[in-house]
Amino acid sequence: MKKIPVLLIGCGGVGRQLLQHIVSCRSLHAKMGVYLRVVGVCDSKSLVAPMDVLKEELSDELLSEVCRIKSTGSSLLKLDALEKGGYRVFNDSESRRETEEIAKLLGKSTGLAVVDCSASMETIEVLMKAVDLSCCIVLANKKPLTSTLEHYDKLVSHPRLIRHESTVGAGLPVIASLNRIISSGDPVHSIVGSLSGTLGYVMSELEDGKPLSQVVQAAKTLGYTEPDPRDDLGGMDVARKALILVRLLGKRIVMDSIKIESLYPEEMGPGLMSVDDFLYNGIVKLDQNIEERVKRASSNGCVLRYVCVIEGSSVQVGIREVQKDSPLGRLRGSDNIVEIYSRCYKEQPLVIQGAGAGNDTTAAGVLADIIDLQDLFP
């Protein structure tokens, strides 16, 4: 049985779902000759690890308890009160040092997969040290790959040791497909993608004549948006995904060079207007403009979609009119879609479409990435 030690950073919705997938897939992975040995789980304030990371692991029972505790919003420090043996819990001041120690112990011996399912920039320092220690890196967190070019270059300096399929399109095979095209020598000319489940839902609902304010309020009620919907409506999440794709194509691009169209003006920003004020007073003022754009697009046989467009070194993120009968135009609900145009896919693009959001789908993509690394472990 090939054993892969796993250190998980981030125990929010995706991280918890990943742990549940690891436990539920034990029999499947056993048939594949693979065993995932979880040697540490971190949240923003603490770390839980076995007494001896070289020989021991966190039990499936403990992983289930970790998921239960984190689902209530509590810290992993609460595990200390359970007084069960076989593991240690480190507080905020100790957890980073111990995380690096685990990477040192396992990185150069059995190997280690450091899995970042957080949404934080603060993991970058740990990831940089993990790269130095020849650890494998698996990312659902987009922020390390969209940081400075110096950080990016180091993360991808050993391409065989990094996987990040779930950073773009959740579990959709966008990164893998693009890598195969690049490896074949087929030059990519452009990429067009609807990469936000939230904005995809909003745009397809606008087609039915509903006002923007009503659609956003409904999306928030359904749990499709962040607690502050402006985190979605500002377009930054789509811009990060676009930056990951354009950097994968070898372009030396930084975030400031991406043109981003926000669906709300600066004067309605988080620092100037509360969430409730925005939802019930501010966004209503945007209804007429969006309604006029929807009607104008319809008169041209088009619909509106919030997309990223990559052409050469140019990256633009915002609302575009697309033909109603095109793959993008037919997109409904919260699905993601990516169209890749290259020499081989010139007239008819390679189209990748499916569920592009959700903890379950994203965690499944992360798990597949970990398993894909199995040949690198002894």
Report, as residue numbers or ranges, the catalytic residues: 241
Give start and end residues of each alpha helix (H) in the chain: 13-24, 26-31, 60-71, 92-107, 124-132, 149-155, 174-183, 197-206, 212-221, 230-233, 236-248, 275-277, 287-299, 327-330, 359-372
Supply the pLDDT for residue 223: 78
Supply the pLDDT for residue 122: 93
Strand partners, 90: 47
Mean pLDDT by 10 residues, the chain (378 residues): 96 95 97 97 92 93 94 87 75 87 88 95 95 96 97 96 95 95 96 94 92 93 86 94 97 96 95 93 95 96 97 96 94 92 94 89 96 94
Supply the pLDDT for residue 34: 97
3-class SS shares of the chain: helix, strand, coil, % to 5: 45, 20, 30
Supply the pLDDT for residue 227: 82
**Running DSSP on this structure, what letter comes out for residue 282?**
I
Supply the pLDDT for residue 171: 87
CB 121 within 8 A of CB 139: no
Binding residues: 10-15, 142, 226
CB 36 within 8 A of CB 143: no
Binding residues for NADPH: 142
3-state SS class at 293:
helix
Cα-Cα-Cα-Cα dihedral sign, residues 362, 365, 367, 373 = negative
